[in-house]
Amino acid sequence: MAKPRRLWVDWTVDRCARGLLWAAFRLPYARRVPMMGAVFRALGGITGFRTRAEEQLAYIHPEMRADERRRIADAVLDNFGRVLIENYSTTDQLEWAKCWQPRGPGLETCEQARRAGRAILFVSGHFGNYQAARAAMNVRGYQMGGLYRLMNNPYANAHYVASVEGVGGRAFPRDRRGLAGFVRVLRDGGQGAILIDQYFSGGEPLDFLGKPAPTVLSAGELALKYDALLVPIYAERQDNGLDFDVTIETPIPHTDARTMTQALNDSLGARVRARPDQWFWVHRRWKPLRQAGQFPPLDPDSPATEALPEAEETHTTSSQ
């Protein structure tokens, strides 16, 4: 159980967050979303998120100019704020999602699998707005639930889970009971969603953006065990800041869990390289100093011991 002082801090933070959300909901959706983006840009220095994003960018792109890192970090903060309020605005999000027509080479394969009652495991990352992709599919007859990572703040976790379930499908925590429920969905031929781009200390050191990143193999393992389609899906924010291009990529071939998961990393990595401003660089994806005693580097040119600050991360958002 958390210490009383920690619970008091969590309660205070949650009340501040609820107050910000209450204020945002006084505005119509089309004004609410950019307003929250502006708030998170303004708070970037106070929260430390801007610095963290710039550090992650420097780790992956040491050649990048400081002013370019700042520009991308500010765009990341803007997207972060927009995603937060969009995902709490579930009624509006579902209404807007009716206009986000999913496309891509994997769409017809998914349609065939759904009609045949075959399980589909959709995989994405903290890119654009991951929940927008679920919303766009669920308003078209899917029931894509989500496997999520519990938030550190117990007061915030309850209303976060409600926002996940608000766009359809159940939300399952990443614990024994939650995973059992998620597995039942796949076993019964349903659809589920996982995000794979946060640090997991017990994960395999797979390549992500040219650096070793501990990654869980559960997506590949579940797809193999339950004969589920393993499908990368993304919702890329469009220039108007409110709409999304929802793309369903070709399903990952069934081989072995490690190879399949690396293919997922490569798929997401290509998206991030093309639009770095849309990925959550505020997450400490690599933690190289923590890796140093556990895993060897992938190659001599990218040692796992390269320096980045190693403070514990507080999860303000959770993986689905």
pLDDT at 305 over 50: no
Q: Domain containing 236 — which CATH number? A: 3.40.1130
Q: Is the pLDDT of residue 127 over 60?
A: yes
pLDDT at 43: 93
Mean pLDDT (whole number) for 73-102: 97
- The residue among 33 and 21 whose pLDDT is bigger is 33
What would the two tokens of residue 38 be? 């502006």
The verdict on residue 319 lying in a domain is: no
pLDDT at residue 293 in the model: 67
pTM to 2 decimals?
0.87
Residue 199 forms part of a structural domain: yes
298 found inside a domain: no
Alpha carbon distance 71, 51 (integer Å): 12
pLDDT band for position 165 (cuts 50, 70, 90): confident
67-70: long-range contacts, CB 8 A cutoff, minimum separation 24: none
Could you tell me if residue 297 is inside a domain? no
Residue 160's pLDDT band, with cuts at 50, 70 and 90, is confident
Residue 151 lies inside a defined structural domain of this protein: yes
Q: Rank 146-155, 222-231, 303-312 by mean pLDDT and report only the highest.
A: 222-231
Give the closest residue to 132 by CA, choosing from 94, 174, 189, 169. Answer: 94
Length of the chain measured in residues: 320
Q: For the chain, how many structural domains are there in total?
A: 1
What average pLDDT is seen over the chain?
A: 88
What is the residue range of 286's domain?
4-291
280 vs 301: which has the higher pLDDT: 280
Least confident of 27-36, 238-247, 311-320: 311-320
Please say if the pLDDT value at position 164 is more than 90: no
pLDDT at 237 (0 to 100): 98
* Separation CA 215–CA 217 (nearest Å): 6
Exposed (0-12), middle (13-18) or buried (19+): which is 190, by Cβ within 10 Å? buried
Q: How far is CA 35 from CA 20, 80, 238, 264, in A?
A: 11, 12, 17, 33
Give residue 302's pLDDT.
39
In a domain, 307, yes or no: no
Question: Is residue 317 assigned to a domain?
Answer: no
Residue 227 lies in a domain: yes
